[in-house]
Amino acid sequence: MIPKIRLQGISKRFVVGSRAAPALEDVNLSLNSGDFVTLVGPSGCGKSTLFNILAGLIAPDPGGELYIDGKLEPADHLLGRVAFMPQRDMLMPWRTVLDNAILAAEIDGVPRAVARERARASLDRFGLRGFEGYHPGQLSGGMRQRVALMRTFLFDRDIMLLDEPFGALDALTRAMMQRWLLEVWEGAKRTVLFITHDIDEAIFLGDRVQVMSARPGHIKTELAVPLPRPRSPDVITSSPFVELKRTLLAAVEDESRKAFAAMNQHVLPDPGEA
């Protein structure tokens, strides 16, 4: 089976003044069509850089290769090819829920009336029926996130990149949103790459979990999640889940420690100078 998207040896270093700061180093990753892959890693490990590359917003360093449906693609060809949802919902306060949801499709060239019609048809699926005329300022955090997700889904692309979409939500809303996302995904069958800080979330949602290393980021471990779908909320207390979590925690802890140590090196004064 040809993977939907495959990264081979992707690296990225940013040049700050005279210093080169490596953000990603030799990232290899492949997603099959319809996969839900989650990505966990310590803060500042370059996850967002990876997403920006996949979204076509920044170019990786020369040498890496990027394939879509088995075809080698220059990085700037990715712009407009994947549906990207950033951490902040970035809803436009002047647009209604409905018009925020159609923004991506509208920019993509779908006539407004057609896009609105399609959006109206999926209001129920996104739990927004009755709110289509509201403005973002009138919505709760969970609802705003659903509008942003709806915008991402209505931008009809096979590949979806979700960057910690539930990061800012409270635990109860987040759990509800996770189950709801799985339902929507199972109905739409898109290829999803989902960034999160939360290991439970990574296991609960993913077919596979990728653990990224501390900066410069690369894929350190990959773990398949053989839990059957659809997954019920109580799966998180089952022993296979707990077993997976133990393995992942160990891997992530290790990297978090490294990231923390690297951070302290920059922050703490040199003891010799004291």
Partner 1 sequence: MATTPPATGAVPGAAPSTGWNAATLLVALGAVMLTWELAVRLLGVSPDKLPAPSAVLATIWTGRVALAGAVGTTLYEAVLGLLAGITFGTLSGIAFSRFRLLERMVLPYFVASQAVPIIAFGAIIIMWFGNGVASKAMIAFYLSFFPVAVNTLGGIRRVSEEEIGLLRTFGAGTLTLLWKLQLPTALPSIFTAIRLGAGLALVGAIVGEWFGSSRGLGVVLLTAMFDNQVEQLWAGILLTGLTGTALFALVVFLQKKIAWWHAEV
Residues in the site for partner 1, rule: CB under 8 A?
A: 52, 55-57, 79-80, 82-84, 86, 88, 90, 92-94, 103-104, 107-109, 127, 130-131, 133-135, 137-138, 143, 155, 176, 180
Q: Which is nearer to partner 1, 176 or 227 (by Cβ)?
A: 176
Nearest-approach distance from CB 238 to partner 1, in angstroms: 25
Nearest-approach distance from CB 119 to partner 1, in angstroms: 15
Residue 23: Cβ-neighbour burial (10 angstroms; 0-12, 13-18, 19+):
buried
Q: Which is nearer to partner 1, 38 or 52 (by Cβ)?
A: 52
Q: 263 in helix, strand or coil?
A: helix
Nearest-approach distance from CB 59 to partner 1, in angstroms: 13
Q: Which is nearer to partner 1, 80 or 167 (by Cβ)?
A: 80
In the chain the beta strands, taken as DSSP E runs, fall at 5-16, 19-31, 36-40, 65-68, 71-72, 82-85, 159-163, 191-196, 208-212, 219-224
Q: Which is nearer to partner 1, 88 or 220 (by Cβ)?
A: 88
Nearest-approach distance from CB 185 to partner 1, in angstroms: 16
DSSP assignment of 91-129, as one string? --TTS-HHHHHTHHHHHTT--HHHHHHHHHHTTTTTT-T
Nearest-approach distance from CB 144 to partner 1, in angstroms: 11
Q: Which is nearer to partner 1, 37 or 78 (by Cβ)?
A: 78
> Does an H or E element contain 47, and which?
helix 47-54
> CA angle, 75 as apex, 252 and 108 as ends, to 5°?
105
User: Which ranges of 124-218 would DSSP assign to H, the alpha helix?
Assistant: 141-154, 171-188, 199-205
Q: Which is nearer to partner 1, 104 or 252 (by Cβ)?
A: 104
Q: Which is nearer to partner 1, 110 or 244 (by Cβ)?
A: 110
Nearest-approach distance from CB 131 to partner 1, in angstroms: 5
User: Is residue 141 within 8 Å of 167, Cβ to Cβ?
Assistant: no
Distance CA 246, CA 85 (A): 29
Nearest-approach distance from CB 1 to partner 1, in angstroms: 27
